């Protein structure tokens, strides 16, 4: 076996260990999967490979590419515990293939960027990538080679729960590493409900799920506010921002979050005027909260009239 062959087989073995392919193979022949898969011959329930490929093939390919990047730098068992993040990052990269319009900005594509190097200086729950590249300039030439680092996150769904009948909103409060790392002496923040979009999940599905998990609130309907990058100069993070119509109780404070995700969340229910005061006082000091409150201020009369 040549050295190249051995390296290829090592990578395949690493991928198999991370994904626990042997366990999957045993399960397919056993009862656990039989309880999940449709019964053979059931009308309309046969597993369709083309359906799987349409939904998962691109995400799987992106995930496998990242998994193999960690070969020789991270134990398979350690990476296995982070697969949910790997899959979510893969789904985000697939979603990015459908960009926003280019009616004012340049329509120059990513294929015009010349990439010479891409490394992963840090890989934890999140990861960073360090690039060496050059890109087209507006004068028609190319930039010099530049080194840039980017924080690689997932896409997220963010939703401000609003009760149009009682004219009140729900906010969550929790400790945040961003303010803490900046040195903010009050690193607890008021925010809309938010959460990572899992692979294969629609942003609206995430918004509804997170409202139940973080605040115990079931939404009646969603209003899309915007989809946008939050810090495009240094982060891949992409937000899908919504307002969620719901019934909010009289309770002004409550608890939420999942113990399995180490979430310690306090919920606050505020009347519309009290929520607007957060903008005036500066206590609303993160982009999603400011943007969703301003959007609510503009659309409030319409929402209340149709409630």
The neighbouring-strand residues paired with 158 are 194, 241
Find out whether 266 and 172 touch, Cβ atoms under 8 Å: yes
| CA atoms of 182 and 175, how far apart (whole Å) | 13
The burial of 243, by beta-carbon neighbours within 10 Å (0-12 exposed, 13-18 middle, 19 or more buried), is given as buried
What backbone torsions phi and psi does residue 252 show, to the nearest 5 degrees? Answer: -90, -30
Tell the residue number behind the tokens 């982060």, with chain if given.
235
CA angle 113, 117, 123 (to 5 degrees): 115
Torsion of CA 193, 228, 290, 178, to 10 degrees: 70
Among the listed residues 7, 205, 261, 283, the single catalytic one is 261
Token pair, residue 192, equals 């809309």
Find out whether 256 and 167 touch, Cβ atoms under 8 Å: no
- Nearest in space to 220 (alpha carbons), one of 161, 295, 294: 161
What 8-state DSSP symbol labels residue 227? E
Find out whether 205 and 97 touch, Cβ atoms under 8 Å: no
261 is catalytic: yes
Token pair, residue 77, equals 């068992």
| CA atoms of 75 and 77, how far apart (whole Å) | 5
Q: Which residues are known catalytic residues?
A: 261
């Amino acid at each position: 076996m040549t050295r190249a062959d051995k390296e290829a087989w090592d990578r395949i073995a690493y991928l198999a260990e991370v994904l626990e392919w042997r366990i999957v193979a045993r399960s397919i022949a056993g009862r656990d999967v039989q309880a999940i898969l449709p019964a053979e011959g059931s009308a309309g329930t046969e597993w369709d490979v083309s359906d799987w490929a349409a939904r998962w093939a691109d995400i799987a390919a992106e995930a496998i590419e990242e998994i193999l990047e960690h070969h020789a730098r991270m134990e398979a068992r350690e990476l296995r515990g982070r697969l949910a993040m790997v899959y979510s990052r893969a789904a985000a990269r697939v979603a990015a293939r459908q960009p926003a319009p280019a009616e004012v900005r340049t329509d120059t594509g990513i294929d015009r960027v010349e990439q010479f190097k891409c490394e992963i200086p840090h890989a934890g729950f999140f990861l960073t990538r360090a690039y060496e590249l050059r890109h087209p300039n507006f004068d028609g030439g190319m930039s010099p080679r530049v080194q840039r680092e980017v924080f690689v996150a997932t896409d997220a769904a963010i939703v401000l729960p609003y009760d149009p009948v009682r004219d009140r909103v729900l906010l969550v409060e929790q400790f945040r590493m961003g303010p803490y790392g900046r040195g903010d002496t009050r690193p607890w923040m008021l925010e809309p409900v938010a959460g990572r979009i899992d692979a294969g999940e629609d942003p609206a599905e995430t918004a509804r799920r997170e409202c139940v998990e973080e605040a115990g609130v079931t939404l009646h309907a969603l209003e899309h506010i915007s989809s946008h990058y939050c810090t495009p100069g240094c982060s891949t993070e992409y937000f899908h921002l919504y307002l969620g119509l719901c019934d909010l109780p009289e309770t002004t404070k409550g608890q939420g979050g999942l113990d399995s995700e180490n979430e310690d969340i306090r919920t606050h229910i505020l009347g519309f005027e009290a929520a607007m005061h957060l903008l005036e006082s500066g206590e609303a000091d993160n982009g999603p909260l400011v943007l969703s409150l301003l959007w609510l201020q503009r659309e409030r009369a319409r929402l209340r009239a149709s409630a």
